[in-house]
Structure 1
Amino acid sequence: ANEVNAYIEDDWKISDKFRMNAGFHGSLFNIGGKTNLGWSPRLSLSYRPDEDWAVKFAYARTTQYVHQLSQSYLALPTDQWIPISGKLKPETADKISVGGYWESPDKTYAVSVEGYYKWMDNLVEYKDEYYLRPPLDLWNAQLCSGKGTAKGVDFKIEKVFGKVTGHISYSLAWADRTFADKNGGRTFPAKFDNRHTINIMVNWKISDKVQVNASWVGHSGNRFTLLNQVWDDPDFETTDWFGAGESPLRTGINSYKLPFYHRLDLSCTVKNKRGYWTFGLYNAYCHMNTVAVKRGTQDIAVSKPGEYYITSEPVFKRVKLLPVIPSISYTWLF
């Protein structure tokens, strides 16, 4: 595969209150004797009625020639990145946004609110039941392409200067996907369709050599495909955890929202003459976030007059990962 890129960018001062910035990115991607051409323009306009306030509008398009394929509800190193080939086309995303921004007269604090809408084409995912296809099929016969949208509003309050800096931000967002060969062609929520997201970050510069950082993140749980129904098969019996004679029935992709996710990360940086040490705590208060839900069984003791036996009933169990993780590293500057 070969890729060629070209960039053009310019900025214009239309008046004392209006500015415009425009850019253009052109690219060529060649693979397997096929050349794809990508056009990625962008434009931004800003209006500053006075020194402390600004209103901005922006449009941008991005083009991507490599697709990420995930077979899991988690982002893992085993996820594949594949270049476009065969009938696959480059992924494109168009985004428009408009926002208002305020800075305090002493430039210490900043407040912003921004709304956006993004539409994406040629997204790539595995087809439903792709693992049932004949093993001699071409690998890309397991894939399908579709569309997606994302929209939301972001709020942010930031302290820029001083020994203690940081910000508080909140996002209200929606994201969905539509694939002709997935979910019966019906639109479904994206995996990261997190309705509410809160970020709090604090940086404390104790001295020129020591700095402490704290970051807390909380967001609505990721979307998850929960197999909440089964059907009895009279012809064969399975031995997996769904139970003998039962097979899972998928009712919809990403139909279940996991519990609220939150964690606190702490770090301390200590500089010396040749570099700096970094000490960290991931998930400092050891909150075991739920990353998935699985169907299982639990044993129940039944006691009746003259008899006692053990039976089982189906239950849903939460899968939790990543407790508190300490870390230490040294960076040598030369």
Structure 2
Amino acid sequence: MKLIRIFFLCLLTTNALIAQTISGFIEDASSGERLIGAAIKFNNQGVISNRYGYFSIKVNVEPVRLMVSYLGFETKEIEYTITKDTSVLIKLHPVQNNLNEVVITSSPKQELSSIDHYTIPLELVKKAPAFLGESDLFKTIQYLPGVQAGNEGTAGINVRGGTPDQNLILLDGVPVYNINHMFGFFSVINPDAVSHVDFMKGSFPAKYGGRLSSIMDIAMKEGNLQSWHGTLSLNPIATRLMVEGPLKKDVSSILVSGRSTWINGLIGLGTLISNSENSTNYGFYDLNVKLNYKLSPKDQLYGSFYTGHDGFRNQFKFDNSVYRFGLSWGNATAALRWNRVWHKHLFSNTTAYYTQYNYNLSQELTSEKRYNATTNSSIKDKGVKIDFDQILSNQNTLKYGAGLVHHTFAPENKSYQNSRMDSTAMNTPVESLEWSTYLEDEYSITNKLKLVAGVHYMGQHVQKSYFHSFQPRISLHANLTSRSKAQFSYNRTAQFLHLLTNSSLGLPTDLWVPAIPNVGPEKAEQWALGYAFQLNDSYSLTSEVYYKNMEGVVEYTDLSAFLSATNIPWYDRVTVGKSRSKGLEVYLNKSRGKTKGWISYTLSKTDRKFASLNEGNWFPFKYDRRNNLAMVITHDFSSSKTLSFNFVYNTGVALTLPTSFYEGALPSNYVHDLNNPLLINYKFYQSLGDMSQRNNFRAPAYHRMDVSYKLTKLKVNGTRSWIFNVYNLYNRQNPYFIYYDQQKLKQFSLLPILPSVTYQREF
């Protein structure tokens, strides 16, 4: 027995000597910014720094050599001699020719990385051709496989047969409910304020919940801890300014980034020159603020704030009357985040946040009889969540956490006034309490096989009802050879809120509403199988097939929409159905050389079915674009001269058009009043269309090419750049909408060829 005790004592002592832990953070040496997804390799093993730049790895030999790498930074090899668990801070230096590193790739090169997980370098977003010179993150994402754009020129995305509300957009961990500036032509995300973007559309990590189609996790810059820097950008649409620097070097920092349009000034100048009594006003702005404070080597505190607003107002006079129309909308988010290293193997992130979106629409007619009408809607969240990363070994990481959020929905508040009466329809806000918890285990079974298995559970109390959803997530990653890998994934997801969209308006008047007893949650199941092959050091090819079922999807019923049926509540104007989507995605990427870029192709089919629509039969989803081809190419003539172009080709959207025409009966009040001016609509009643078949027509194919040329010059205290953009290079007349005119089909095209110039100064 004594010999057995001595044996186990020696074994424990030996393990203590040979199994030590190195943990810590990876930072940008020039700014102190934490590097998300940096690769740390040791003895043919490797780990990745987490969402907050933290890593932990066990070592068992002396001396220890770590290889640390990150895209756009110099790879660093570090040797340690350690006899106990050690905490380190590793700083990487940016590559001097970083202007050339603008490829889009999957998460930083590592063994068994996810095929459908993309990390988007912000340099690419800033360098790619931009609509009127305004760089946009969402426009870049539209070129990825499985992602489809909405209407012409807009920033919205539809992922694998989903709708915009099925995309979870997180800004520093806080949901953003509306991404549109300028009626959707730009997004509210200012790329100057962003440091890292993860985009996922297949194998969702268990920590994410509440949406069906995609996750976009956007991290704001933390603020430079070493020195003050800034960026100024001027283009025909807006001015952007970003300033960041230390409040106390190596301890605290601040970042402030703002953007504002000057369109309103140009419109006002045109009105003044024309001496018109009619006027139009439009403007938008956004503001990002980030504070970063190191409380201790183990604790870090962050505070972030965002606000953005759009406003449009039109006034015109006729006879003795004045008509005014106004529309405004905006977002606001605020978050307080605390990072804590509890133990060398345990890391946590706690976030308390607030977010809101609201819009207001008003109409006013001033004459002998006064008329005024307003409509507003909003959604507000107050939430808290905590996430843990527990590193059990180099092969096994456990992730778990929980969250609680209080929603307040005010989907439709309307008031109406005239000289005879006042009417107000103030709906009582609907409140809901939603909670979630998750557990995920990432386990490397062998050097060639990794399993990620988890579960996300969420529940919601609303209107004395309780909804809940148990969501298993599983993905299997296999390295087939040194150059190829395969991935299988299965996901179940749910969301307890809906977005009621009136696509005919083209305005931000969509309604966020909760799942309630008679309009329940949306649910989805998705299967995907992917394969990736590294052709050589420059080229890689990825392909994936998927199948997705969705239940509980919502659409307006026929003849119901926003601004109609004002006395009918929203839940009596919608119908609930299901959707199915399947597709093949191919992604070819070139990441080295002077010419870089990628080609993506998606072959897909999405159908929907509602009992009260299309006679209960399946019909194509509006954005069921069978073929979607996208191309992005960047060529560096030198470190200061870059030519870029984008090309996109999509099958046309599905539209509902009459299959035949018939003559209808005039309303009785028209027939008996021959002087009624509304008899001008008589022709309308002579040719009514049969609209019984939904989405029965295809618009012409959409295709477009954009070009950008960037000239950069080094200055004493920074760089100066001129960026020349041409949107729609060959002036393709793409259909914005299609209509009948005297029973002849015609199209309206919105955006012709649009050149622009951007001036940018980094200091």
Query: TM class by shorter-chain length?
Result: 0.7 to 0.9
Query: Could you tell me which residue of structure 2 aligns to residue 117 of structure 1?
Result: 547
Alpha carbon RMSD of aligned pairs, Å?
2.9
Contact 2:664 2:685 in 1 (8 A): no
1:225-281 deviation line (CA, Å, top 9, x unaligned): 012422112455874496452222113110001111101123345667278765533
Contact 1:73 1:224 in 2 (8 A): no
Q: 1:248 aligns with which of 669, 689, 702?
A: 689
Query: Could you tell me which residue of structure 2 aligns to residue 146 of structure 1?
Result: 577
2:65 is the counterpart of 1:65: no
Instruction: Return the alpha-carbon distance in structure 1 between the equivalents of residues 439 and 723 of structure 2.
Output: 39
Query: Could you tell me which residue of structure 2 aligns to residue 296 of structure 1?
Result: 741
Provide TM-score, normalisation by structure 2. Answer: 0.38
Structure 1 range deviating more: 32-41 or 159-168: 32-41
Contact 2:666 2:682 in 1 (8 A): no
Q: 1:94 aligns with which of 501, 504, 525?
A: 525
Shift in Å at residue 188 of structure 1? 0.5
Say which structure is richer in helix. 2
Shift in Å at residue 186 of structure 1? 1.0
Provide TM-score, normalisation by structure 1. Answer: 0.83
Q: 1:188 to 1:29 in 2, by over 3 A?
A: same
1:265-313 deviation line (CA, Å, top 9, x unaligned): 233456672787655333232212013321112xxxxxxxxxxxxxxxx
Query: Could you tell me which residue of structure 2 aligns to residue 286 of structure 1?
Result: 731
1:148-198 deviation line (CA, Å, top 9, x unaligned): 000011122211222321111222110000011211211110001111111
Instruction: Return the alpha-carbon distance in structure 2 between the equivalents of residues 201 and 318 of structure 1.
Output: 28
Shift in Å at residue 25 of structure 1? 2.7
Structure 2 matches for 1:1-334, cutoff 5 A? 1=407, 2-32=433-463, 34-73=465-504, 76-106=507-537, 108-130=538-560, 135-236=566-667, 239-240=680-681, 243-268=684-709, 273=718, 279-297=724-742, 314-327=743-756
Question: SS of 2:480's equivalent?
Answer: strand
Shift in Å at residue 137 of structure 1? 2.4
* Gaps in structure 2 of 5+ consecutive residues: 1-406, 408-432, 671-678
Q: What percentage of aligned pairs have identical amino acids?
A: 30
Larger Rg: 2
**One-letter amino acid of the structure 1 residue matched with residue 690 of structure 2:** L
Q: 1:65 to 1:246 in 2, by over 3 A?
A: same
Instruction: Return the alpha-carbon distance in structure 1 between the equivalents of residues 659 and 636 of structure 2.
Output: 50
Shift in Å at residue 29 of structure 1? 3.8
Q: 1:275 to 1:79 in 2, by over 3 A?
A: farther
Structure 1 range deviating more: 113-122 or 42-51: 42-51
Query: Could you tell me which residue of structure 1 aligns to residue 303 of structure 2?
Result: none
Instruction: Return the alpha-carbon distance in structure 2 between the equivalents of residues 217 and 270 of structure 1.
Output: 25
Question: SS of 1:14's equivalent?
Answer: strand
Instruction: Return the alpha-carbon distance in structure 2 between the equivalents of residues 7 and 276 of structure 1.
Output: 46
Query: Could you tell me which residue of structure 2 aligns to residue 302 of structure 1?
Result: none
Instruction: Return the alpha-carbon distance in structure 1 between the equivalents of residues 762 and 435 of structure 2.
Output: 33
Instruction: Return the alpha-carbon distance in structure 2 between the equivalents of residues 255 and 7 of structure 1.
Output: 43
Q: 1:130 to 1:75 in 2, by over 3 A?
A: closer
Q: 1:134 to 1:80 in 2, by over 3 A?
A: closer
Question: SS of 1:51's equivalent?
Answer: coil
Contact 2:665 2:685 in 1 (8 A): no
Shift in Å at residue 127 of structure 1? 0.9
Instruction: Return the alpha-carbon distance in structure 1 between the equivalents of residues 645 and 619 of structure 2.
Output: 35
Contact 1:242 1:296 in 2 (8 A): no
Instruction: Return the alpha-carbon distance in structure 1 between the equivalents of residues 434 and 482 of structure 2.
Output: 43
Instruction: Return the alpha-carbon distance in structure 2 between the equivalents of residues 231 and 289 of structure 1.
Output: 30
Contact 2:658 2:690 in 1 (8 A): yes
1:186-226 deviation line (CA, Å, top 9, x unaligned): 11100011111111111224444554431111011000001
Contact 2:595 2:633 in 1 (8 A): yes
Q: 1:211 to 1:61 in 2, by over 3 A?
A: farther
**One-letter amino acid of the structure 2 residue matched with residue 245 of structure 1:** Q
Shift in Å at residue 47 of structure 1? 2.3
Structure 1 range deviating more: 47-56 or 66-75: 66-75
Instruction: Return the alpha-carbon distance in structure 2 between the equivalents of residues 199 and 281 of structure 1.
Output: 17
Shift in Å at residue 319 of structure 1? 2.1
**One-letter amino acid of the structure 2 residue matched with residue 262 of structure 1:** H
Structure 1 range deviating more: 51-60 or 23-32: 23-32
1:69-102 deviation line (CA, Å, top 9, x unaligned): 2222575433333332342222122111112211
Question: SS of 2:652's equivalent?
Answer: coil
Q: 1:162 to 1:72 in 2, by over 3 A?
A: same
Instruction: Return the alpha-carbon distance in structure 2 between the equivalents of residues 178 and 26 of structure 1.
Output: 28
Instruction: Return the alpha-carbon distance in structure 2 between the equivalents of residues 38 and 130 of structure 1.
Output: 30
Instruction: Return the alpha-carbon distance in structure 2 between the equivalents of residues 81 and 204 of structure 1.
Output: 43
**One-letter amino acid of the structure 2 residue matched with residue 294 of structure 1:** Y
**One-letter amino acid of the structure 1 residue matched with residue 649 of structure 2:** G
Instruction: Return the alpha-carbon distance in structure 1 between the equivalents of residues 762 and 549 of structure 2.
Output: 42
Contact 2:498 2:513 in 1 (8 A): yes
Question: SS of 1:50's equivalent?
Answer: coil
Instruction: Return the alpha-carbon distance in structure 1 between the equivalents of residues 524 and 726 of structure 2.
Output: 36
Shift in Å at residue 143 of structure 1? 0.7
Contact 1:258 1:291 in 2 (8 A): no
Contact 1:183 1:252 in 2 (8 A): yes
1:31-73 deviation line (CA, Å, top 9, x unaligned): 4454433333321112222111112111122222332222225
Instruction: Return the alpha-carbon distance in structure 1 between the equivalents of residues 522 and 724 of structure 2.
Output: 39
Instruction: Return the alpha-carbon distance in structure 1 between the equivalents of residues 691 and 493 of structure 2.
Output: 34
Structure 1 range deviating more: 155-164 or 228-237: 228-237
Kindly tell me the number of residue pairs found equivalent between the two proteins.
Answer: 317
Structure 1 range deviating more: 272-281 or 221-230: 272-281
Q: 1:133 to 1:165 in 2, by over 3 A?
A: closer
Instruction: Return the alpha-carbon distance in structure 2 between the equivalents of residues 82 and 331 of structure 1.
Output: 41
Contact 1:226 1:293 in 2 (8 A): no
**One-letter amino acid of the structure 1 residue matched with residue 553 of structure 2:** L
Q: 1:178 to 1:15 in 2, by over 3 A?
A: same
Question: SS of 1:130's equivalent?
Answer: coil
Contact 1:65 1:90 in 2 (8 A): yes
Instruction: Return the alpha-carbon distance in structure 1 between the equivalents of residues 508 and 459 of structure 2.
Output: 28
Q: 1:277 to 1:92 in 2, by over 3 A?
A: farther
